[in-house]
Amino acid sequence: MKKKNRMASMFLVSYFIIVCLIVLFPFYALLLAAFKPTADLMRYGVDLNLNWESMSLNNFRTLFASSTGDLYFHWYKNSIIVTVLYTFFSLLFSSLVGYGFGVYDFKGKNILFVLVLVVMMIPTEILILPLYRMIINLGIIDTYTGVIAPFAIAPIAIFFFRQFASGLPRELMDAGRIDGCSEYGLYFRIMMPLMLPAFGAMAILQGMRSWNDLLWPLIVLRTETNFTLPIGLTALISPYEDNLDILIAGSIMTIIPMMLLFLFFQRYFVAGLTAGGVKG
């Protein structure tokens, strides 16, 4: 029996090592390309040839020293601001709605939750035109508000928080009411700390969604200095100039915030996804 368990453990370890190598393969190729001269990138493309003689930091120097460098840092700042604000409001409002669905019983609850599930199944592209007309009428085109507000309450986050809140002990709510705590006090003082794993998991997922989003910010933002990183890096590619050196070096820099986000919330990630998928 011990021999079988040992073989099963070795198989799982080998399997996950292979999966990790497959996942890290594109990052390795991109990292090598960031240190290669533009001529090699134009001639050979992104490859895995490790040539120490030709590798240098010139691409990063070009990125930071060129006129594009100032714009790049504007784009970086814009992406950080949009991601932080979007993640904060998404977690706040979606958790409140999901918590309400999970712990309260009220008339029309099931119908409203079905509508949330229906919205989850609607592709974002179908909503682009009415949302675009809405933000024009509200006068928030080319602003952070126009990028964040239409998607601040995410149906997938509502569903996730609802599943997590359904398993919270109701006895704590009754004890809080006996002590004179309001319903908002119950949530912010008692129940929200119990939902930290769910907040950690959704912070990673919603942060990555906002950081990598291209379509909606591309439609809303007009001014070059208001672009986010995905739009700005895409704008570097033109029929007249490829800017591969700046593009690849800039792409490497965009990975850092998401790595920090995952490292900060990783201890909550697995626990949040596991607990959120099981009721009771």
- CATH code, residues 68-276: 1.10.3720.10
Q: Are 207 and 83 in contact (CB under 8 A)?
A: yes
Q: Are 159 and 100 in contact (CB under 8 A)?
A: no
Tens digit of each residue's pLDDT, the chain (280 residues): 666 778 888 888 899 899 988 888 888 888 888 888 877 777 777 777 777 777 888 888 878 876 677 788 889 999 999 999 999 999 999 999 999 998 988 888 999 999 998 988 888 888 899 999 999 999 999 999 999 999 988 999 999 999 888 888 888 888 888 888 888 888 998 889 888 888 988 998 899 999 999 999 999 998 888 999 999 888 877 666 667 777 888 888 888 888 888 888 777 766 655 554 444 4
pLDDT score for 61: 82
* Measured CA angle at 241 (ends 236, 242), to 5 deg: 60
Rounded alpha-carbon distances, angstroms, from residue 129 to 90, 123, 134, 164: 22, 12, 9, 33
pTM: 0.84
Distance, CA of 37 to CA of 57 (rounded, Å): 9
pLDDT score for 242: 66
Distance, CA of 177 to CA of 185 (rounded, Å): 9
Q: Are 76 and 257 in contact (CB under 8 A)?
A: no
What angle do the packed helices 67-103 and 244-276 form, to 10 degrees?
Answer: 10
Q: Are 243 and 236 in contact (CB under 8 A)?
A: yes
Q: Are 173 and 186 in contact (CB under 8 A)?
A: yes
- Name the strand (E) or helix (H) holding 77: helix 67-103
Q: Is the dihedral of CA 109, 124, 226, 67 positive or negative?
A: positive
Q: Are 94 and 153 in contact (CB under 8 A)?
A: yes
Q: Could you count the other beta carbons within 10 Å of the beta carbon of residue 74?
A: 18
pLDDT score for 167: 85
- Name the strand (E) or helix (H) holding 211: helix 196-212
Q: How many residues does the chain have?
A: 280
- Name the strand (E) or helix (H) holding 193: helix 192-194
pLDDT score for 274: 57
Using DSSP, state whether 223 is helix, strand or coil. coil
Phi, psi dihedrals of residue 50, rounded to the nearest 5°: -100, 100
Using DSSP, state whether 80 is helix, strand or coil. helix
The helix/strand count (H/E) of the chain reads as 15, 0
pLDDT score for 269: 66
The domain limits of the chain are: 1-56, 68-276
